[in-house]
Amino acid sequence: MGLSQVNPLSIGSRQDHETDILAIQEFSVTSEAPKPISFNSARFLVSAARLQDCPPDAGREVAFAGRSNAGKSSAINCITTNGKLARTSKTPGRTRLINFFSLNRENCRLVDLPGYGYAKVSRDMKDDWQQHLSHYLTERRSLAGLVLVMDIRHPLTDFDQMMVEWCEHNNLPLMILATKADKLKFGQAKTAMLGIRKALKDNQCLEHLIMFSATSKTGLEECRKGLTDWLESGQDD
């Protein structure tokens, strides 16, 4: 039988049937097994100056907090393999807004918080930031965990300790990235990690303490794994 003699209607119905089967398979795949989170998929979503400008408080998000210049934005760029995603700068205080980045799973986000302790801003401005930050931290229901980024050479500043205590008080899972590890010899970095571990030995909220470097990618996979666990847990969609 030549191609011209094939009944086009029968081909049509078979194709429809196959399409239906494919659609059913696709539906069951998406409804039963959600796509694994891919950090490379991160896209800028929105910048918010205050809580009411933030995206809807649904799903799960992980926020990066820490001192100004500690390396929060660089860590986000390293995790997402996108050097241009979050703005980094040698000038402290670069990130002045709460920046949201969406991931490939619906309602999963990474959040770059404004750095604390930027000396050059006025007292009023500092108070204003702190207020927005604490508003975000206390009100945001989708916050699944906090990543506290600290320079491994200057760990556990007063602000860092305040954040640890805040997580402890609020039962919020905490990950510490002791970053810029490439700036120390390995032995010195190890000693610094032991010091942090010892200082926080009684903290229940500390789930991950990771030696990290955005430059050399030290600790990257451990960090991604911890973030994935937080973002995926409790999500059945």
Ligand X SMILES: Nc1nc2c(ncn2[C@@H]2O[C@H](COP(=O)(O)OP(=O)(O)OP(=O)(O)O)[C@@H](O)[C@H]2O)c(=O)[nH]1
In DSSP notation, 163-217 reads HHHHHHHHT--EEEEEE-GGGS-HHHHHHHHHHHHHHTTT-SSEEEEEE--TTT-
Provide the sign of the torsion angle of the four alpha carbons 174, 180, 182, 185, taken in this order: negative
3-class state of residue 43 by DSSP: strand
At closest approach, how far in Å is the CB of 38 from ligand X? 22
Q: Which of 88, 99, 102, 142 binds ligand X (CB under 6 A)?
A: 88
Q: Per rule CB under 6 A, is residue 99 in the interface with ligand X?
A: no
Q: How far is the CB of 43 from ligand X (least distance, A)?
A: 18
Query: Of the ranges 44-52, 82-90, 130-138, 198-206, which one interacts with ligand X (CB under 6 A)?
Result: 82-90
Nearer to ligand X, 59 or 61 (CB): 61
DSSP state for residue 59 in the 8-state scheme: S
Residues in CB range of 49: below 8 A, 6 or more apart: 97, 98, 132
Residue 92 touches which of ligand X, Mg ion, none (CB < 5 to 8 A by kind)?
A: ligand X
Q: How far is the CB of 237 from ligand X (least distance, A)?
A: 31
Tell me which amino acid residue 42 is: A
Q: Which residues contact ligand X (rule: CB under 6 A)?
A: 66, 68-74, 88-90, 92-95, 115, 179-180, 182-183, 213-215
